[in-house]
Amino acid sequence: MTSSPDTTGTQAGSASSVEEGAPAVPLVEVRSASKAYGPTVALREVSLSVGAGEIHGLCGQNGAGKSTLVKVLAGLVQLDSGTVLLDGRPIELSRPLDAQHHGIALVDQELSVVPALTVEENILLGGAGRPFVRRRAADRARARELLERVGLSQLSPDARVESLSMAQRQLVEIARLLGREARLLILDEPTASLSRADSLVVFAALRELAARGHSVLYVSHRLDEVLDLCDRVTVVRDGARVADESATALEPARLIELIMGDLHRHERAANAARSAPDASDAVELVVRVAQPPRIGGVALRIRAGSIVGLAGQVGSGTSELLRALAGLEPGGTASIELPGGRVARPTSSRAAQAAGIDFVSNDRKGEGLFLERSVGENLVATRLDRISRAGIVGRRALREVAGRLSERVHVKTRGLDAGVLELSGGNQQKVFIGRCLERGSDRILLLDEPTRGVDVHGRAEIHDLVREAAGNGTTVIFASGEPDEVLDLADVVVCLHGGDVVAVRRAEEMTASDLLAETTRGRAAATEEPDGR
Ligand SMILES: Nc1ncnc2c1ncn2[C@@H]1O[C@H](COP(=O)(O)OP(=O)(O)OP(=O)(O)O)[C@@H](O)[C@H]1O
């Protein structure tokens, strides 16, 4: 492990020279950090230490305090008490610029690269101390050098960012931060919108950067990735640190136990307990979607009350298929032939809702939650007609329904009146899902990445709720980029590639590697469900 980033002489001073036998000074250390938001304690005397050249994982349930800790390091949130040290010396992080000066860089989930600009323009954008007059040759050389450091030496600096894959965009963002002398890179759920292949590209670049002495703080709910990538892992639970362990010695089951405490449950058991819908009383729906050029003609025969998992890499058309069914793809021709000969044509989101189709988007902030409203209001937002009399919504009825839903999805909140923006990301997702529950049977529930940003326990809970909805007659179609999630939750798996259905299989007949092979190979196959479905 090196102790000083190899940055061709551009780094600020570092803790490079460690005397033989003396303990290495961590690059960044947080000591006894505490932070409360009003009555909510987000951090309780948490400590964290990241060595130079170390990839350090940060894990914890939704609401455990990870983002708060990250925001402290990024200068976005101030501690109530505690210290942050860099190279063993206390530093002030009162604003984002302080973090930048100290070489601490947050790689944002919503990347700050500008799609319409070129790679070089993005990399050199807003760099501190840039001369006013552009020095073309020097800029070009600098851009190339930074691209090389993130494994993108083949990429033209003139390429527009909008033409790049998500992984390449993420790496361009990292190159930009390296250009600002970043020593600690903080990544918060970086693979949430990446395919597996893209994730591996980013991991390779991170390992290379660590080998050159940069440090990485890696926040993720994807525990296999954490164990695969990280050297050490810190686990926080209810705002307190419960572990700081070497990742190599850590078993997955032990990590889950550390994260969940006593709450740990085994999900596959829950799935096994759910009996698949009985073939004898099969009621079928036929789903047809054409949305050229992104989706060819898809025709699926689906048993009512079953759970259909759409699997595919980014760009395979899984999201577009769901959105077409939700009436959100203009010009799309989606139809659902319902039992009894009725045909639903979701030409708009209103038409979809009228036909009994609920949609949980993968963009909960942009398309789901009413961000300025409370948790309670968000939970009941789509059922106001059912709890109002003559157009007047009774406060008691509202609280009763919201309270029940909040309990069912186990939202961690100080109360129904709390603003939904106060919730951690995973808890916001639970509110979003909770809103689509208990809407009556014979409905169709569409979920795009239902557990994105949700911890293992919350994920199991959301899966249980989905199974329960299916058990009550709701037909569920969901998309997920995680093979394990598709196989855990679905009865039937539909694999898409390049906008076409390439395989339809029962989940119990598939392994994760079958699924990966189908979704990456893209070979032609039947489009109807297997025997009798
Ligand atoms: N701006 C805020 N106002 C009030 N409470 C907040 C605010 N931000 C976070 N909290 C609360 O602080 C606690 C820790 O939240 P934090 O976002 O750090 O959790 P997290 O571990 O990042 O969760 P997730 O995995 O869901 O993103 C939660 O109880 C959350 O509701």
3-state secondary structure 252-273: HHHHHHHHHHHHCCCHHHHHHH
In the structure encoding, which two tokens stand for residue 136, read together? Answer: 């073309």
Q: For residue 67, which atom of ligand 1 is closest to its CA? A: 22
At 397, give phi and psi (nearest 5°): -60, -40
Instruction: Report the pLDDT value the prediction gives residue 272, as an integer from 0 to 100.
Output: 46
Instruction: Report the pLDDT value the prediction gives residue 426, as an integer from 0 to 100.
Output: 80
Say which residue, 307 or 530, is predicted with more confidence.
307
150, pLDDT greater than 90 = no
Which amino acid is located at 35 in the chain? K
64 CB near ligand 1 (under 6 Å): yes
Q: Which of 35, 62, 68 gets mutated to test ligand 1 (max ligand atoms within 8 A of its CB)?
A: 68
Instruction: Give the span between the Cα atoms of 517 and 495, in whole angstroms.
Output: 10
Phi-psi map region of 374: left, alpha, beta (phi>0 left; psi -120 to 50 alpha):
beta
On whether the CB atoms of residues 286 and 299 are closer than 8 A, the answer is yes
ipTM over 0.90: yes
pLDDT band at 193 (very low <50, low <70, confident <90, very high): confident
If you average pLDDT over residues 496-518, what whole number do you get? Answer: 85
270, pLDDT greater than 70 = no
pLDDT band at 383 (very low <50, low <70, confident <90, very high): low
- Which residue has the least CA distance to atom 28 on ligand 1? 63
Instruction: Report the pLDDT value the prediction gives residue 229, as an integer from 0 to 100.
Output: 94
On whether the CB atoms of residues 434 and 446 are closer than 8 A, the answer is no
On whether the CB atoms of residues 460 and 267 are closer than 8 A, the answer is yes
Instruction: Report the pLDDT value the prediction gives residue 529, as an integer from 0 to 100.
Output: 43
Distance from the alpha carbon of residue 73 to the mean position of ligand 1, in angstroms:
15
- Match 């492990």 to its residue by tokens: 1
If you average pLDDT over residues 67-76, what whole number do you get? Answer: 96
pLDDT band at 510 (very low <50, low <70, confident <90, very high): confident
Instruction: Report the pLDDT value the prediction gives residue 1, as an integer from 0 to 100.
Output: 38
C-alpha distances in angstroms, 354 versus 209, 435, 443? 52, 16, 10
532, pLDDT greater than 50 = no
pLDDT in tens, 200-258: 888 988 998 999 999 999 998 888 889 999 999 999 998 999 999 999 989 888 888 88
Beta strands in 135-283 (DSSP E): 184-188, 215-219, 232-237, 240-246
Distance from the alpha carbon of residue 169 to the mean position of ligand 1, in angstroms:
27
C-alpha distances in angstroms, 491 versus 137, 275, 495, 508? 58, 10, 13, 8
CA dihedral 160, 161, 167, 173 (to 10 degrees): 130
Q: Would strands 28-37 and 40-50 be described as parallel, antiparallel, or unpaired?
A: antiparallel
